[in-house]
Structure 1
Amino acid sequence: MFWNDGVVSDIINQENDKMRVIAGKARRIPLVTVKGMETRPTTDRTKETLFNMIAHRLCDCTFLDLFSGSGAIGIEAISRGVKKAVFVENNPNAIQCIMENLKKTQLEDQAEVIREDVFSALRRLDGREKFDYVFMDPPYNHMLEKEVLTYLAKSDLLEKDALIIVEASLATDFSYLEELGFLMIKQKKYKTNMHVFISVEE
């Protein structure tokens, strides 16, 4: 596992029985989450719905988890068969949660953790890695997902059949996707947010 920064704060939540690995080799292991509202953990129910839709094609894939928070999504992906996940997060408390959760699940050897803003990390990875999956859960209603997608469209980060998944508010606009060469293939709406599934347009 690679981690490109040093000491971080030790302020993390205690184990939360509502946040755990759902399936795979780390099944049922509880995860720690970040205190406060700076990050917004994906609920277990939403996470289970998401992975039920993609689990059949995870085996031996590479997974990029942007705005990682506690790392729960990338860790779930590794647990279910992804060969490597890269976690990108700039919040030091969230970084500590990712490191703690990887240690608890014993998945460190399949993880790379980058403490850096997302756009610096994308530039670092471009030309070095290609991903089958990109998941992002940026702060809502700041159009950060559009900025990331704009970068991905011109990058060499995506495998030919890559799937991009964006967690966003229900009000988020994705009408620009075709202009970037992407295609929305599915939307899954929940009570307050949604997952948008995006592929490279053929």
Structure 2
Amino acid sequence: MRIIAGSLKRRSIKAPSGTDTRPTSDRLRESLFSILGSDRVQGARVLDLFAGTGALGMEALSRGALSAVFVEQHPQALKVLYYNIENLGLEDRSRIIKWNIRKDLRCLRNEAPFDLIFMDPPYGRGLTAITLEHLKKSGLLTSASCIICEHTAEDPLPPEKEGFIREDLRVYGKTLLARLSFLSDKEESH
């Protein structure tokens, strides 16, 4: 695995061995950032949920994001995540939080809202809708926040009436890549 573009272009990223972590492929990452465009990434505060290797957040940092918070709970993935951030020299713009996102997002309660949120939960566990519900209640989103969700058809997105609008959806084999925007309670009531 490698960083695709930006200041860290072609730098290697390690991935944990085994099947517990499913890193986003270079091809899919390239498509994802193409969908986003550079203006969405430049200067952004990034949240990388189910971070795994950290490839999505690190790619954003390489492309000009201001900072990234990585949330992961798997010990082997955390070890690799710390290594990757240090190896790429991103310690001053990164923060890693060990947390079980299935419960809630209390670990982020002191954070300001994020501009760009990546979520790539383990497939087939129903975590897509749960995580979006946690995000909705968290206070971490504004109407300008962009959420990128990597999921499968078995883990569908909640209906749009539940606080999010699907702006774009791409299919890559069994993987779906959705770009969502957030409707605050005020916007939803109109």
Q: Provide the TM-score with structure 2 as the length reference.
A: 0.91
Q: For structure 2, which runs of at least 5 residues remain unmatched after alignment?
A: none
Residue aligned with 1:74, SS: helix
1: distance between equivalents of 2:65 and 2:104? 20
Match of 1:32 among 3, 14, 19: 14
The letter of the residue matching 2:65 is: V
The letter of the residue matching 2:112 is: E
In structure 2, the partner of 1:164 is: 147
RMSD of Structure 2 on Structure 1 (CA):
1.5
Change (3 A) 1:149 1:184: same
In structure 1, the partner of 2:65 is: 82
The answer to whether the Cα contact below 8 Å between 1:23 and 1:79 also exists between their aligned partners in 2 is yes
1: distance between equivalents of 2:37 and 2:103? 29
In structure 1, the partner of 2:43 is: 60
**Number of residue-to-residue matches in the alignment:** 183
1: distance between equivalents of 2:14 and 2:135? 30
Higher alpha-carbon deviation: 113-122 or 190-199: 113-122
Q: Percent identity?
A: 38
What's the CA shift for 1:161?
0.6
2: distance between equivalents of 1:66 and 1:128? 14
Superposed CA offset, 1:148-193 (max 9, x none): 111222221013310111111134322x332322111110110121
Instruction: Confirm or deny that 1:93 pairs with 2:43.
Output: no
2: distance between equivalents of 1:53 and 1:169? 18
Q: Provide the TM-score with structure 1 as the length reference.
A: 0.85
Residue aligned with 1:194, SS: strand
Superposed CA offset, 1:61-104 (max 9, x none): 11100111111111001010110100001011111111111112
Q: For structure 1, which runs of at least 5 residues remain unmatched after alignment?
A: 1-18
The letter of the residue matching 2:13 is: L
Structure 1 residue runs of 4+, over 6 Å off?
Answer: none
In structure 2, the partner of 1:143 is: 126
2: distance between equivalents of 1:162 and 1:123? 19
For residues 14-29 of structure 1, the aligned pairs below 5 Å read 19-29=1-11
What's the CA shift for 1:121?
6.8
2: distance between equivalents of 1:43 and 1:68? 14
2: distance between equivalents of 1:142 and 1:93? 20
The letter of the residue matching 1:48 is: E
Residue aligned with 1:86, SS: strand
In structure 2, the partner of 1:71 is: 54
Higher alpha-carbon deviation: 39-48 or 49-58: 49-58
2: distance between equivalents of 1:28 and 1:127? 34
Residue aligned with 2:37, SS: helix
Residue aligned with 2:105, SS: helix
Match of 1:128 among 104, 108, 111: 111
2: distance between equivalents of 1:123 and 1:32? 29
Instruction: Confirm or deny that 1:49 pairs with 2:31.
Output: yes
The answer to whether the Cα contact below 8 Å between 1:127 and 1:157 also exists between their aligned partners in 2 is no
Change (3 A) 1:195 1:102: same
